Chains A and B, each alone.
Chain A
Amino acid sequence: MMLARRAQLERLFELAREGGRALIGPTVRDGAIVFAEIERVEQLPIGWRDVQSPGKYRLERRSDDAAFGHVVGPNSAKELFFAPSETLYRAERRPDGKLGFTAHKPPPTAKALIGVRACDLAAMRVQDRVFERSQFRDPQYGARRADTVVIGVHCTEPGSLCFCSSMGTGPRVTEGADLALAERGDELLVDALSPRGEALLAQLEATEASASDHAWLDAAMDASRARMGTAVDVRDLHERLYANLDHPRFAEVASRCLSCSSCTSVCPTCFCSNAVERSDLDGAASSRVREWDSCFTREHSTLHGHAVREQTSERYRQWITHKFGAWVAQFDSSGCTGCGRCIAWCPAQIDVREELAALTNNDRRTPLPSARSCDASQDETLVPRVAEVVSVARESGDVVTLRLRAEGFESFAPGQFSQLSLPAIGEAPISISGRDGAEVEHTIRAVGALTDALCKLEPGEQLGVRGPYGRGWPLDELAGGPVVVVAGGIGLAPLREALRRMIADPARFTDLRLFYGARTPDDLLYAREMLGWVDRPGFRLYATVDRASATWRGHVGVVTRLLKRETVGDRARAIICGPETMMRFTVDALARAGVPHDRVWVTMERHMKCATGLCGRCQLGPYFVCKDGPVFRFDEVASLFGRQGI
């Protein structure tokens, strides 16, 4: 550690801005201390402190001229790397009707950050895990984040809402920065934490710090920890939260929470986003734009017109169980750094520290899956490839199967899905219902603007496609024993290619039964193809409808009734796809027949935008449906399955 005069900040500013880097640091603006581009030392919040309490943030004059004598303001480094609004790609429809998609690259803007607290450095590491070290890497984030010089500041004066010491992220800067500063009157204690930091430090006028300087900093950090307000008990916090999903406190806090999403806006780690189409007036071109979003909005969880989390209590539960619970399983760290922003900026004065204590006021624990390792990340630009419609098969009044010529499906596994898109209209996840060489099939039901438009496509027309995504059916685990396939409605689509492959391999699949329920006989999908299956060795088909037509001579009633009549046997393995209610009753019927939960697989559905785990929308407890599913072994999701608002 070195000791320098505080006047060396001038030199440090020059060094940080070398090569045209934008220097971002704390400055006073609009009555708050915010992170913004600054050029001169005088722009630091010299002589200011921010006084914070639940629902309150005020600036006050200090009695000294400390430059870093404040805590944290409403924004953080998050917006520098994970842009609040980011164009992902531009789509064009040429005069000949053909489509083109062009990735948008953020302009190269080298940055230097100064005055970053340990809690916010921890937040940057958390976001790095989300965007750079998950299964999919976000190149936009990577481009903005790369080559950033970071100068941290040890926090010697924590605010009353700070709890970084509970979360293990501060107050001392120990990693994630090139330099770490401590301000002591007109002196700076400076530590280099990286080779680049050493190079910077070498260019400052500084002397080796003494033992007493080291002791001063140690004492200052101890005093800082001691000054922090309410502590949070983080031991097994993720497991304690998941054991209390039905805690009455959720209803109580919801009576105060405004669902305004202020907490998620100021949070330095929240990463949920939406993606919308921005169309030119002539409709010939459009942009796909990613925008910050919040799990407190209704739209965040909306599926087929209904919000999965309709109640504020369900949204608060999602937020707090994700931030302090599911995050651990997803990213091997808590999503909270203890910065206290969500408390200061909550207009209802909700203090997350109090809520955590109240929600876990018992000894209950529910184990969560251990953190998933990610050996290899792949860049995911979220830009579609162009696909062309080869043929259209009308399956029923509102369902069609599009056969597409599209590249990139060589590794497709039955059960996976694609993101299909049309410029200016939107993008949606659609199950892949079949593959034949370079052609893939998607069976689509017209339920909204995009699916309506997709169902109206004609041969020769083009659309956008991404994928395949997700985890498919475990065909190898199913082989060798009796297999029961249960489908409801359009839920047969993601099962069709699995059925084809099993039927084509009677040596491995000797006893295969399909139980299929539809609304009416006209709604039965792939009727002609299924008739061709019934003579195949080892295969039996049982179809039923909820509402029979006058000419229907088959079964009438729900699909679970068919299942009850058949001897399934406890050696069977089952794969199910249909509405959650139908799957719930099917799993129960299978359990009564002796088939345990770890031999049943279901496919789940939640609101997806990116399909890569980066938009945060399709969460199901510790899982992302898009990349951890959509196929789950039932015991993985049994404790969450069918629960309202999860």
Chain B
Amino acid sequence: MAVDPSTLDAMPFLRRLAADARAELAAIATLEEHSAGAVLFREGDAPGAVFLVLEGRVTLTMRVGQREASVLSLGADELVGWSSLLARRRVATALISQRSRLLRIEASPLLELCERDARVGYAVMAQAFEDVSDRLVDTRMQLLDLYGKGASR
């Protein structure tokens, strides 16, 4: 489904972009809806699209032996599949865990647009940086096992 540029207004970081830049981004984006249980991509897949969650929930899982371990769930305003911006294989599986509405943007045209229009490039990379930074901090907190035995409270 093609995207009306006004849809991008839902994303706070895109609202800061000028209207013409938002229109350029909308031109390469599509709107998708998925039911719970759908898989956006699997761990090890070749790089592909990045997704912005408009509503719903996407859970990232990783293979641990014979089972899939849920490592993080993502919701509205969050980025899914950032590793494609680095042309890397998927590092986790993205499972729709709650009916979701997503903005899908293929990495190649997005990277081309970022190269061509520095405003878009800065906005996208800044958002990706913030997302990755938040996830790094969150992961550290999970590693600290704050609620484990020996931790306070």
Binding site for B on A (CB under 8 A): 303-306, 398, 447, 488-491, 517-519, 523, 544, 546-548, 550, 552-558, 560-561, 564-565, 577-582, 585, 605
Contact = CB atoms under 8 A, between A and B. Distances in A.
Contacts of B77: 565
Contacts of B57: 555
24 contacts: A304-B152, A489-B147, A489-B151, A490-B153, A518-B147, A519-B145, A519-B148, A546-B142, A546-B145, A546-B146, A546-B147, A548-B69, A548-B71, A550-B68, A555-B57, A555-B73, A557-B72, A557-B142, A560-B138, A578-B146, A578-B153, A579-B147, A581-B144, A582-B146
Contact of A561 (B97, B134, B149): B134
Contacts of A558: 138, 141-142
Given A561-B134, A581-B141, A447 B76 contact: no
A539 B77 CA distance: 23
A490 B77 CA distance: 30
5 nearest A-B pairs in the assembled complex, by CB-CB distance: A489-B147, A548-B70, A519-B147, A579-B146, A556-B70
Contact of B149 (A398, A547, A560): A398
Q: Which of B69, B152, B153 has the most CB of A within 10 A?
A: B153
Nearest to B147: A489
Interface in B25-79: 57, 59-60, 67-73, 75-78
Interface string B130-142: 0000100110011
Interface of B: 57, 59-60, 67-73, 75-78, 97-98, 134, 137-138, 141-142, 144-153
Given A303-B152, A548-B69, A565 B76 contact: yes
A577 B146 CA distance: 13
A577 B144 CA distance: 17
Nearest to B69: A548
Q: Which of A303, A558, A565 has the most CB of B within 10 A?
A: A558
A46 B114 CA distance: 93
A481 to B, nearest CB: 24
A605 B152 contact: yes
Contacts of B68: 550
Contact of A552 (B70, B134, B138, B147): B70
Given A550-B67, A605-B152, A585 B73 contact: no
Contacts of B70: 548, 552, 556
Secondary structure type dominating chain A contacts: mixed
A432 to B, nearest CB: 15
A609 to B, nearest CB: 17
B71 A556 contact: yes
B15 to A, nearest CB: 14
Q: Which of A519, A546, A564, A580 has the most CB of B within 10 A?
A: A546
Contact of B72 (A552, A556, A579): A556
A226 to B, nearest CB: 52
Contacts of A304: 150-152
Q: Which of B69, B73, B76 has the most CB of A within 10 A?
A: B73
Contacts of B147: 488-490, 517-519, 523, 546, 578-579
Given A488-B146, A546-B142, A605 B153 contact: yes
A585 B137 contact: yes
Given A546-B145, A558-B141, A579 B152 contact: yes
A523 B77 CA distance: 29
Contacts of B98: 553
A521 to B, nearest CB: 10
B141 A582 contact: yes
A21 B44 CA distance: 88
A546 B139 CA distance: 9
A541 to B, nearest CB: 15
Nearest to A554: B73
Contacts of B142: 546-547, 557-558
Nearest to B70: A548
Q: Which of A555, A557, A585, A605 has the most CB of B within 10 A?
A: A557
Contacts of A523: 147
